[in-house]
Chain A
């Protein structure tokens, strides 16, 4: 590269040198030369032109000289006298001419003056006529003004008479007014006197009433005392029932004393088009509801060893995840993946309420209280409490994790217990705002169920076991697990038997497991009927039958008959 630069630099240097030597040295010189050259050229042409002019002028001069000579020789000595005469005549002529011009000038001036004067005269005449017209106009105006003045004077006189009349009237009215005011004052005085009297009477009446009330109270208290005394005297013998009634008010509550472990499939049927996510019996055991991924809730009635379809409840826009009955068996509640919970009436299958407000799938919903409230748990990590009378969300509980299932317990003081994705079971008191308690399990909690006596909580977890928790100690008292038992979904349900002796759950391989609650021992395993993962199970309140549902439409009724 250095080489290349070498030759290039050499070349450039030579070129510059060339241009300097050949061009720059001579540039100015030649420019100047050219200028001078042109100058000389133009001078030369000018010079030629001038010479030609000079020649011509010379020629002219010559001609003139010639002419003058010839003329002077022609006129000779003829008339010096006549010359003088001519001169005087010329002078006269000149004078006369001057006079003439002077005359002309004057004449012109006079004519001009004449014209000016006549002009002035005309103007004055014009002025005069205009003044005359003005004068007549003003006279006319004066007349009309005088007339008007007369008119006005007349009207003034009229007005004055009217004014006088009005003043008289006014005075009369003022007199009337003062007398009326006097009357008013008297009336007011009377009024105040009457009011004071009335108040007095009122006070007296109140006193009488108070006295009356006191009398009545006294009498009542005396009667109450009497009653209490009588009551204390009578002896009452209270029997402890074996199982406390779960909810009040059911017409034909079936109380189960002994749950029977089913042995074989008794009745199989297709419950839904697709997955069957939830199943539940009413307290009376007459009606069973299933919820499916086909967006319907179906009501079934038990009779002749079969479940007969009573009706389909439409309205959900996505699969139903959970169903629940109220204690009166008037309403059925469904939680849906379309972020809403809905309430239908059982009697006429009509949609009654739609509870919207969650921002995620609603995975669980339960009635509680006197069935006028609903609590729902959602994938949006909140629980919401709804009042059905006002159809509004009355409380939102921020649980902190997606809620898979929840139960409510009036016995434990209106507690809501929820099972969560973060492996925790949380306890909320509906009457206070704080989160009361929580228990951490080993796996994601998929379902919760309360034992009939409300002392035990059954939770199924994704680590393939069921935990029985004693609610009084908040401790796991037994664990139910078995070979081949796998919890298939985050929403697989497990339940207690109606007498609380057994726990029931379905497995991923299609079998249904029943354990002993107290010992955690496997009682039976019902196999080979379901061909896919069992999602939901329910024990009939009479204790005689079990229903299980799977992910491929099937529902199976198990019994020992």
Chain B
């Protein structure tokens, strides 16, 4: 199991180099400010890690017009409530690094993005995801058995990027008693320009045979397998392409994001190029 622990560590260590730049429309001083480079954790959320960036760019914009901050990549507004890694995999998986993101302080696109007034909003969204996932996995038994300080520790672990602090609690959420697997796998399948797919999926057949990633995809996107075989479609989780015969239970335990969901990105070649 030391291997699995190492996998968890590798997943946690995932970072993305990002070049933030201020939207040229919003620059109020003479010179265009330099882009701000930052390594951001894949597991985290955009608004959570960009305090410095915002502070830096605020000096270059008109202070009267400063509203809520939002991000955009090649004209696509980025939803802050989706983990950074998933956003990258979905929109710019094969683009060159560093990832170029444009920062806006004005004209918040209300119809496309949720408002994010404070860190508490992110925390409550994160905890809602964890609870939903545990409801799917253990009928909420584990999360309800925890104390308030355990919930706090989960959040602080993520916020401060502390692997041990986070996994001390998260381990209990990922446990399955004996040979009994999760009741359902909490997952979301993202595709560009489509809303995500989420359904109930048991990790084993009625006979107790473990099911794989391929089985899951087949059930939710029936015509996907031949496309994958023809290399027209890619399935990305945590920035890698897992083999289709990977057991879905193992994937859920090890490649889930901190919100306990398995975020699966399905990329069609036509979308990309």
- Chain A residues in 8 Å Cβ range of B3: 8, 12
Q: Contact: B39 with A12, CB < 8 Å?
A: no
Q: Which of B6, B17, B36, B38 contacts A12 (CB 8 A)?
A: B6
Chain B CB within 10 Å — which of A10, A19, A22, A27 has the most? A22
- Chain A residues in 8 Å Cβ range of B34: 37
- Does A33 count as interface, using CB distance less than 8 angstroms? yes
- Chain A residues in 8 Å Cβ range of B6: 12
Interface residue range, chain B: 20 to 34
Contacts known (A8-B3, A26-B97, A27-B39); A16 close to B10, Cβ less than 8 A: yes
Q: Contact: B37 with A18, CB < 8 Å?
A: no
Bound Cα distance from A26 to B15, whole angstroms: 9
Contacts known (A26-B17, A30-B17); A15 close to B11, Cβ less than 8 A: yes
Q: Contact: B97 with A12, CB < 8 Å?
A: no
Contacts known (A6-B243, A12-B3, A22-B16); A29 close to B97, Cβ less than 8 A: no
- Chain A residues in 8 Å Cβ range of B242: 7, 10-11, 14
Bound Cα distance from A213 to B21, whole angstroms: 155
Bound Cα distance from A14 to B241, whole angstroms: 7
How many contacting A-B pairs (Cβ < 8 A)?
A: 79
Q: Contact: A21 with B97, CB < 8 Å?
A: yes
- Chain B residues in 8 Å Cβ range of A4: 247
Interface string of B12-51 (1 = CB under 8 A from A): 0111110000000000000000101111001000000000
Bound Cα distance from A12 to B246, whole angstroms: 12
Q: Contact: A30 with B38, CB < 8 Å?
A: yes
Bound Cα distance from A391 to B3, whole angstroms: 89
Q: Contact: A22 with B97, CB < 8 Å?
A: yes
Find the A residue at minimum CB distance from B247. Answer: A4
Kindly provide the distance from the CB of A5 to the nearest chain B CB, expressed in whole angstroms. Answer: 9
Interface residue range, chain A: 20 to 34
Interface residue SS majority, chain A? helix
Q: Contact: A19 with B14, CB < 8 Å?
A: yes
Q: Contact: B15 with A27, CB < 8 Å?
A: yes
- Chain B residues in 8 Å Cβ range of A524: none
- Does A23 count as interface, using CB distance less than 8 angstroms? yes
Find the B residue at minimum CB distance from A10. Answer: B243
Kindly provide the distance from the CB of A382 to the nearest chain B CB, expressed in whole angstroms. Answer: 70
Bound Cα distance from A26 to B19, whole angstroms: 11
Q: Contact: A11 with B240, CB < 8 Å?
A: yes
- Does A34 count as interface, using CB distance less than 8 angstroms? yes
- Does A3 count as interface, using CB distance less than 8 angstroms? yes
Q: Contact: B10 with A22, CB < 8 Å?
A: no
Bound Cα distance from A8 to B42, whole angstroms: 21
Q: Contact: A15 with B245, CB < 8 Å?
A: no
Bound Cα distance from A283 to B239, whole angstroms: 121
Kindly provide the distance from the CB of A252 to the nearest chain B CB, expressed in whole angstroms. Answer: 100
Kindly provide the distance from the CB of B59 to the nearest chain A CB, expressed in whole angstroms. Answer: 9
Bound Cα distance from A255 to B10, whole angstroms: 119
Q: Which of A3, A11, A17, A23 contacts B17 (CB 8 A)?
A: A23
- Chain A residues in 8 Å Cβ range of B67: none
Interface string of A201-230 (1 = CB under 8 A from B): 000000000000000000000000000000
Bound Cα distance from A11 to B236, whole angstroms: 11
Q: Contact: B7 with A15, CB < 8 Å?
A: yes
Q: Contact: B15 with A12, CB < 8 Å?
A: no
Known: A26-B39, A30-B38. 9 other contacts (CB 8 A): A3-B245, A7-B245, A10-B243, A12-B10, A14-B241, A19-B13, A19-B15, A23-B17, A25-B97
A-B contact pairs, 11 of them (CB 8 A): A15-B14, A15-B240, A18-B14, A18-B239, A23-B15, A26-B15, A29-B17, A30-B38, A30-B98, A37-B36, A37-B56
